[in-house]
Amino acid sequence: MIWSKMKLQLENFLAPALTGRVEYLSTSYRYSPDKNGKCCIAVDKKKIFNMKDGTTGMKWYQSEQDIKNDPAVVIPLSDAEIEHISRETGGKVPEKRLAVIARDRKLLAYAKGTMAAQTALSKSDFYKTAEVYLNQPIETSLASTDILLNCLALMDKRVGKKRILDMEQAIKMKHSIVQYFYGLRRNLL
């Protein structure tokens, strides 16, 4: 699909409160060695989500350790997860340590997922992901582990107020840019 048609379709799916505030931008450089370009999502004329660019306001993690040591990353734990660790260890581990083990395991899985999602963000990946988003149900995009699919879905007019409010806990486990777009949409409710 050509960019102008895709951009028009993406803009048609924007929530009414975001129309005019959110822009999808894409440029190509004919004479660049790899013929690559830039792609970004801008909010109020400010480039918020540049694909593969560390100059944006979002946090790009360099390693899994950066994620594990980031105090802003909040990992909610359920009693079932702690109970699972207790059964797994045969009840030999003190209760205080069970929560630490469960949190570390969940944090490691989150870190691996975040690093994998970050590496797949480039202009060509934006086009592929946008096409997937335009051709699948909104529920699939919201449940995806893909950062860009989550961002596009959060700005969609098919996602209503109740659904936005219900996803508050799930968003805490997502990348910081997904949390940004969630906050943007929630503040407009």
In a domain, 107, yes or no: no
In a domain, 89, yes or no: no
In a domain, 110, yes or no: no
pLDDT mean over 86-115 = 84
Structural domain harbouring 166 = 3-58+122-187
For the stretch 39-62, pLDDT in tens is 889 999 998 887 754 444 455 667
Given a contact cutoff of 8 angstroms between Cβ atoms, the answer to whether 156 and 138 are in contact is yes
pLDDT mean over 98-118 = 80
Domain total of the chain = 1
- Give me the pLDDT at residue 66, please: 80
Q: Residue 103 class from Cβ within 10 Å (0-12 exposed, 13-18 middle, 19+ buried)?
A: middle
For the stretch 140-160, pLDDT in tens is 999 998 888 999 999 999 999
Residue 187 has pLDDT above 90, yes or no: yes
In a domain, 101, yes or no: no
| pTM of the predicted structure, to 2 decimals | 0.68
- Give me the pLDDT at residue 71, please: 81
In a domain, 11, yes or no: yes
CA distances for 128 relative to 29, 62, 138, angstroms: 19, 24, 16
pLDDT mean over 10-15 = 95
In a domain, 167, yes or no: yes
In a domain, 68, yes or no: no
d(CA 184, CA 180): 6
- Of 170, 174, 186, 185, give the one whose Cα is nearest residue 149: 174
Q: Which residue has better confidence, 111 or 100?
A: 100
In a domain, 96, yes or no: no
